[in-house]
Amino acid sequence: MGNRNKIDFWSDFWIEKTSLKISFPRIYSIAVKKCGKIKDFGCWIQGRWAWRIDLRRRLFEWEIPLWNEFRLVLNRAVSVHQCPDSVIWSGTQDGQYIPKAFCSIVASQGTLADPVWGLVWYKFVPPKVSAFVWRAVHLRLPVMLELVKRGIICNDRCLCLFCNLEPEAVNHVLCLYAVVWRAWQRWCSVWNVNLVFPMNVKQLLEVWFAQKIRQRVRGIWRIGIFGFIWIIWIHRNKSRFKGYSYSADQIFNHALL
């Protein structure tokens, strides 16, 4: 990303093993701008790189997961802070993205100041899962509310599909939604833990790690929260995109596996 002026956004192999044009032909076909360097597809806003990919039309329902994937791929290439040369995957030999490279890149940027950082990158958790939880803590998941905020979908579609009461926010999906919270509580009751209802994923993580669990099983307890968050997200996606229903029991049973 240091070469924002030189790298061709659609045609060069700068994020994935192939070009964005090849990886995301559908998005490419509806993009307004078909050529240009990386710098032409975004700008810095208050120290953050913001992508700006204009589309010729609104997305069809079935294109949204594709679009989300595209955005995630792009966002992986962006650092938290303005630091133009630190965003490439130079840590990996072929320049290919791997979560571990992502960890060390972000780690080198002073984000360590936030104590939640140490929790998210818990040593026994696969980097892929940690990266996901990190995005959840920072509300960077493609849930409806976040997509509305970014103007990707329109306002009237941001309600949570399951309860139809609240906007589909990251914290709602992963912990506050009643069904999901029941699954959390069930998990905790197995451990004889009484969790206070958290405000958000970050707080849940903090409370989780603060629990006094016997040392022998503490590792399992701590890994559990990552597995649980991951599973809830999988259920949410299956439910949203494939029409599966889900319940607290299903989440719980899946987590036991």
- Sites of contact with Zn ion (CB under 5 A): 160, 162-163, 177
Q: Work out the number of other CB atoms within 10 angstroms of the CB of residue 79.
A: 20
Position 25: which residue type? Answer: P
Q: Which is nearer to Zn ion, 27 or 204 (CB)?
A: 204
Tokens of 193: 């833990």
Which of 89, 95, 246 is CA-nearest to residue 162? 246
- Minimum distance of Zn ion from residue 168's CB (angstroms): 7
Round to whole Å and give the CA distance between 114 and 72.
23
Contacts of 56 (CB under 8 A, 6+ apart): 30, 31, 32
Tokens of 65: 């997961």
Q: Which is nearer to Zn ion, 20 or 160 (CB)?
A: 160
- Minimum distance of Zn ion from residue 17's CB (angstroms): 37
Name the residue with tokens 């299956």.
238
Round to whole Å and give the CA distance between 141 and 69.
10
**Using alpha carbons only, what angle is made at residue 109 by residues 104 and 113, rounded to the nearest 5 degrees?**
105
- Minimum distance of Zn ion from residue 166's CB (angstroms): 5
- Minimum distance of Zn ion from residue 177's CB (angstroms): 4
Question: Among positive and negative, which fits the CA dihedral 4, 7, 11, 16?
Answer: negative
Position 247: which residue type? Answer: S
Q: Which is nearer to Zn ion, 69 or 166 (CB)?
A: 166
Q: Which is nearer to Zn ion, 132 or 177 (CB)?
A: 177
Q: Which is nearer to Zn ion, 160 or 205 (CB)?
A: 160
Contacts of 123 (CB under 8 A, 6+ apart): none
DSSP 174: I
Minimal CB distance residue for Zn ion: 160
- Minimum distance of Zn ion from residue 58's CB (angstroms): 24
- Minimum distance of Zn ion from residue 137's CB (angstroms): 20
Q: Which is nearer to Zn ion, 168 or 187 (CB)?
A: 168
- Minimum distance of Zn ion from residue 231's CB (angstroms): 17
Q: Which is nearer to Zn ion, 153 or 160 (CB)?
A: 160
